[in-house]
Structure formats: structure tokens, C-alpha cells
């Protein structure tokens, strides 16, 4: 299947990989991003440096909350909405306003623009952070979402907006709850990037809490594949976990990186951060059954690819 896709957040970590894959599959891609300053614009420009040389890619440097959206979605078949202000720890205090604007208002504005248009799918990048600090593991789509961070609240609010535009206006929405995504181009504020940079520089790694907290690390190409499978789903209005079902402790990730990089890590333990959950663990049986999703890259292999990419 091919067509014309709009990818919001195309200059970000996951969005840029999704654009790569869509172009490889012969889609026409319109990418929108306004380079919000959650991390360096230089890295984001580098993420799209290959994309912009393709004749099937058009880049739009616009903010979703202000752009003339109807003009850009006129002939779009599928929307992948990945633009957001991510990150749990920064979402407290004054900056919550930016989370509301970029995560909730931006999503509402995009849904308003598409609600009377005939599109095939609207795939929303949701997050495991909607579950919160649940004692119920593995996390299942039928569990009551109870976010533990302001960021998680904004991702759940946007996911709910997607669902109500599906119910009221039949916008064909599919929400994918990504679990800790890693791989080349990972955001510099995320754990694996921080660990690799610190080991490389022989600098101490700040470990929040005791390091036994587990995350369901998911390789970025698997997340991209889940997005493409979501387009092929014959129905809409569904929510899916996109993870591996194999949670791993942070200290174990550091141990694997030490092995790959041939260097010991220096650890500095500090108290766990407000909003950080203890463990995440995806039940992916629904994605497996309805999407045909199966993660293909194991943690050691994926970490090796990320280390190699960050050495370049």
C-alpha cells in the first residue's frame, strides 16, 4: 500500500525514522515540524538531512497550533501525528503550559482540520505514560489509565480527543501507546542516549532511584512498523500497546552497554524523580492479534545499533 502521508514531528527521533521508511515504501510524504527547543535544532536538522533530498518528501516548517492546516491536508491519505513535547521530568511547573499547547491543543487543532475530510487513517503517537504507576503488570489496553506525570496527562487527554473525534465525526483514529523507544537518533534527554554519552566521555551516569526500575525498551524500527501496520487495520477507534513484553532493568542496560563499548560505567545514584514510574511492561497480545505486530530487534542488537550510530 502507498499513498500520501502527513507526518507531524518529522524532524524528531521517531518521526524521522517513520519518514525514512515511508519513502522507502514509495509513499509521498509531507513532513511538518517547527523545531521546538526541547533539544538542539542542529540534531533535528540532521535527522531530516537525507529526507529533504528526496523528490517525494516535502518539508513544512510550521507550528501545528498556528499553521493553515486545511491547506496542507487537502490531498493527504494518512496522518501520522507524532509531534509533541515529550519527557516526563520537565512537565512540572511553568513548563506544563507548553505541554498543554503542543500535546493537547495541537492535537485538537489537527483533529478539527481533518474531521470533515475523507482520510484513510489518523495514527496517533500515544505513550505508556498514560498507564501511570500501575501495580497491574503487564499493562493492558483495558486497564484504567491513571497517568503519574503531567506529561502523561497530556498524552492521555490527546488520546481521548482522538477517540471522541472518532466517535462523533468518524475520524479513523488508531492510537499506539509506545513503550520507551530507543535506537539511532534517540533524543539526548532519554536514558540510553545519556548512558552512551556518559560512558563515552568517562563521565558519571546519573541513575535516578536504585536502577532496578524496569522499562519495556522498544527498538525504533519496530515502532515504525507498528505505525505502518496501523494504516492497514480494517477498523478504527482502537488503542494498541507497542512494546516488546520483555521489561529490562536500567542497571542491566548499563551492563550491556559496558560490554558493547568495552568500558566501565561510573554510576552516581540520586533520588528517583517525581513522575517517574517504577516499571513499564507491555502486554502486546492485542497488537499481535489485530495488527500482526511482532517486535523483531532484541535489546542487545538494538543497543549495538544505537552505540554505532552515536559513534559516527
Ligand X SMILES: NC(=O)c1ccc[n+]([C@@H]2O[C@H](COP(=O)([O-])OP(=O)(O)OC[C@H]3O[C@@H](n4cnc5c(N)ncnc54)[C@H](O)[C@@H]3O)[C@@H](O)[C@H]2O)c1
Residue 265's closest CA among 207, 198, 220, 218? 198
Catalytic, 39? Answer no
The contacts of residue 175 (CB under 8 Å, 6+ apart) are: 123, 124, 126, 159, 162, 163, 238, 239, 240
CB of 15 to ligand X, least distance (A): 6
Q: How far apart are the first and last CA of the chain?
A: 34
State the Cα–Cα distance between residues 33 and 40, nearest whole angstrom.
13
Residue 79: name the closest of 156, 4, 14 by CA: 4
Residue with Cβ nearer ligand X (23 or 186): 186
CB of 264 to ligand X, least distance (A): 27
The catalytic residue among 72, 151, 165, 182 is: 151
Please calculate the CA angle 99-207-282 and round it to the nearest 5 degrees. Answer: 60
In the complex, which residues of this chain contact ligand X (CB under 6 A)? 8-9, 11-15, 32-36, 38, 44, 63-65, 82-86, 102, 106, 125, 127, 155, 178, 180-181, 187
Catalytic residues: 151
Amino acid at each position: 500500500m502507498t499513498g500520501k502521508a502527513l507526518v507531524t514531528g518529522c524532524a524528531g527521533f521517531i518521526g524521522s525514522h517513520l519518514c525514512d521508511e515511508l519513502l522507502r515504501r514509495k509513499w509521498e510524504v509531507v513532513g511538518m515540524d517547527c523545531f521546538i527547543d526541547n533539544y538542539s535544532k542542529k540534531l533535528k536538522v540532521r535527522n531530516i538531512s537525507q529526507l529533504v533530498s528526496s523528490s517525494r518528501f516535502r518539508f513544512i516548517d510550521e507550528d501545528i497550533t498556528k499553521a493553515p492546516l486545511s491547506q496542507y491536508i487537502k490531498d493527504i491519505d494518512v496522518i501520522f501525528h507524532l509531534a509533541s513535547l515529550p519527557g516526563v521530568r520537565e512537565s512540572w511547573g511553568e513548563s506544563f503550559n507548553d505541554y498543554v499547547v503542543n500535546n493537547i491543543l495541537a492535537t485538537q487543532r489537527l483533529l478539527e482540520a481533518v474531521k470533515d475530510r475523507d482520510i484513510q487513517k489518523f495514527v496517533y503517537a500515544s505513550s505508556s505514560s498514560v498507564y501511570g504507576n500501575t501495580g497491574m503488570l503487564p499493562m493492558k489496553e483495558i486497564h484504567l489509565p491513571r497517568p503519574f506525570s503531567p506529561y502523561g496527562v497530556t498524552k492521555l487527554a490527546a488520546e481521548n480527543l482522538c477517540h471522541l473525534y472518532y466517535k462523533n465525526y468518524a475520524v479513523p483514529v488508531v492510537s499506539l501507546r509506545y513503550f520507551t523507544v530507543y535506537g539511532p537518533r534517540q533524543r539526548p534527554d532519554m536514558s540510553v542516549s545519556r548512558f552512551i554519552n556518559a560512558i563515552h566521555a568517562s563521565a558519571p551516569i546519573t541513575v535516578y532511584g536504585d536502577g532496578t526500575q524496569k522499562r519495556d525498551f522498544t527498538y525504533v524500527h519496530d515502532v515504525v512498523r507498528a505505525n505502518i501496520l496501523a494504516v492497514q487495520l480494517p477498523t478504527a477507534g482502537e488503542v494498541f500497546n507497542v512494546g516488546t513484553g520483555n521489561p529490562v532493568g536500567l542497571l542491566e542496560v548499563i551492563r550491556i552497554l559496558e560490554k558493547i563499548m568495552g568500558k566501565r560505567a561510573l554510576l552516581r545514584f540520586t533520588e528517583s524523580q517525581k513522575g517517574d514510574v517504577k516499571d513499564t511492561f507491555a502486554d502486546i497480545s492485542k497488537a499481535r492479534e489485530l495488527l500482526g505486530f511482532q517486535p523483531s530487534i532484541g535489546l542487545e542488537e538494538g543497543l549495538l545499533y544505537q552505540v554505532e550510530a552515536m559513534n559516527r
